[in-house]
Amino acid sequence: MRVSQVLNPTLREVPAEAEVVSQKLMLRAGLIRKAGAGVYTYLPLGLRILKKIEQIVREEMDAKGGQEVLLPIIQPAELWRETGRWDVYGPEMFRLVDRHEREFCLGPTHEEIVTDLVRGEVRSYKQLPLLLYQIQNKYRDERRPRFGLMRGREFVMKDLYSFDIDEAGLNVSYKKMYDAYTRIFTRCGLTFRPVEADAGAIGGSGGTHEFMVLAESGEAAVVYCPECDYAANVEKAECRPQPMESDPVTENYSLVETPQMKTIEQVSDFLGLKQHELVKSLLYQGDDQIFLVLVRGDREINEIKLNNMLGPFLNLQLAEPEVVRQTLGCEPGFVGPINVPGNLKVVADLEVPLMKKAACGANQAEHHYFNVLPERDFRIDQVFDLRMIVAGEKCPKCGGELKEARGIEVGQVFKLGTKYSKALNANFVDENGQEKPCVMGCYGVGVSRTMAAAIEQNNDKDGIIWPIPIAPYQVIVVPVSMKDKQVVETAEKIYEELRQTGVEVIIDDRDERPGVKFKDADLVGYPLRVTIGSKTLAQGQVELRLRKSGEMELVNVEELTSRVKGIIADALKY
RNA sequence: CGGGGCGUAGCGCAGCUUGGUAGCGCGCUUGGUUCGGGACCAAGAGGCCGCAGGUUCGAAUCCUGUCGCCCCGACCA
């Protein structure tokens, strides 16, 4: 390819809307352009990168026995009604109606469609296991699209669905995908970490891991243990209760006036208590049920754990002030667990029963109770881990001190179980002639997001630094002057030779000053640059420079191709 | 969904308060001089001032509506 011909509009200035470094650099490097909120066009070089990542994904899926298919983007509402997700999915789903008033959605994911396929075509255990995947656009009407390709409303995803005869089979498929993902992200040159994660809206049974690319701009928070291999999304991370040291109070609880004291901080300051000596009490409302949720004052409630434990379809959320008034007869800010209505279910974090002396809201204006002892003074109906973990806590596996990091979720592997196969009757007949539902798993890679994540992790002040396996071109050949015949001829010869030996190479044949060419080459991020200038050429040499390290060496013209091929072969080895 | 901000040339912006025929930098075109890290000089091209309505002799500027985009927030009692 020739720089003079490729549509690669580089920008000196950053478009005003760009927020994170990957977005800025992709726009500046002429890889993408925005078409609308969360919707992007891929320009030729951007598309090459995307295709390279796709190809790596494809190779690894095929290596594990995956079969590529292409499922429809437009999906009938009927299927989604069968699994109940037409209503559950909510405003994130793009919905449309055709001329006959039939309802459809743009696929945000493909469990329904693929399971529908399998129920029609799979009859016998002899046809299983089956691993079907596709690489295709997904559509999600994100609440707030942002960060360029990191959170778009249209994005490219590889999704594979596994169908097995039983749990053991699922575990095998799961392991295959876990290993494949490790290979994929390693091949893409990323520093990543698989973390335990929450099952989320996809539902289903069993474990799930997210593959997180560690980066400042990541939207997900993870905790990890430096001592062992434990790592988890904070949404999921198990919390160990921290015991209290002191003896329990013996005197009865009593009422104290706390004018205008509505927050934990205000109340603890006012009463001269530590924040962890308060019971934080929050009222949650679900679709048709209300819960009082208790957690230590210095802790935060993890609504994901709460939802999972109390019922994922309750749509639990913090109660409106009006609901608080109706249920407890007081304003938010003075809510507490003592003498609450008998039909109000009280749930508490593991740490609450361990509290020895506490203060809490009194369910009346401007008052709190102190010298409260949990369970002596109030009822708890259910105790479980419902709080958010924080850095510095003990690792649930080995007891080491957890650290926190931010991550970009580029992949997720997920055991679905029989949730969809049961709902859609995707059954097979086993060896004994018994009909059984397939045991399913689903496994996603955010392909376009991986491209953004790779930039987040590989850039400097001059631009992108592509890892060789996913670079748009592996080598750029730069003749320093287009006026010097010898330089141009040598550059063309080198370009041709590299090209013919299978190196992905682009030549900057524009009649530009060298500075411009160098700046553009650095910005776009070609891993290798061959510079041909008259001075070194007089000695029969050209300059080979590595984008990543800035290292450069002079190489004899005749040896260049083998030198370049050596470096590339090394980088592609895995 | 709530709040704030912004739409003026391909990109980045000024002009708007105080209405009077639209400007700067980069980029683009042509010519010349330059030529190893975003050169210089000269001459050009390029705008329905997001869209619609209103006020006015006159609107980028004031008013109303609308669309688009960006940012922040979404209640921890």
pLDDT tens, A215-230? 888 888 899 999 998 9
Retrieve residue A378's tokens.
Answer: 């109030």
pLDDT tens, A459-482? 999 999 999 999 999 999 999 999
Q: Which of residues 474-503 of A touch strand B (CB under 7 A)?
A: 480-481, 483
Is 80 exceeded by the pLDDT of residue A139?
Answer: yes
* Residue A149 banded pLDDT, cuts 50, 70, 90: very high
Retrieve residue A536's tokens.
Answer: 């070194």
pLDDT tens, A432-459? 999 999 999 999 999 999 999 999 999 9
Pick from A18-32, A70-84, A278-292: least confident: A278-292
The pLDDT assigned to A256 comes to: 92
pLDDT tens, A232-244? 998 888 898 988 8
Retrieve residue A393's tokens.
Answer: 């806590």
Is 90 exceeded by the pLDDT of residue A347?
Answer: yes
Retrieve residue A420's tokens.
Answer: 């969809």
The whole-model pTM stands at: 0.90
Q: Which of residues 421-440 of A touch strand B (CB under 7 A)?
A: none
Average pLDDT of chain A to the nearest whole number: 92
Mean pLDDT in residue range A542-557: 97
Retrieve residue A436's tokens.
Answer: 């059984």
CB A165 within 8 A of CB A153: no
Mean pLDDT in residue range A317-328: 86
ipTM of the complex: 0.91
Residue with the bigger pLDDT between A522 and A17: it is A522
User: Is strand B in 7 Å reach of the CB of A531?
Assistant: yes
DSSP summary character for residue A235: T
Chain B positions with an atom below 7 A of a protein C-beta are 1, 11-13, 25-27, 34-39, 68-77
Tokens 């109390």 -> residue: A310
The nucleotide whose C1' lies nearest the CA of A36 is B69
CA-to-CA distance for A350 and A295, rounded, in angstroms? 8
The pLDDT assigned to A22 comes to: 94
Mean pLDDT in residue range A73-94: 90
The pLDDT assigned to A204 comes to: 53
The pLDDT assigned to A362 comes to: 94
CB A451 within 8 A of CB A49: yes
CB A388 within 8 A of CB A299: yes
| Å separating the CA of residue A35 from the C1' of nucleotide B56 | 38
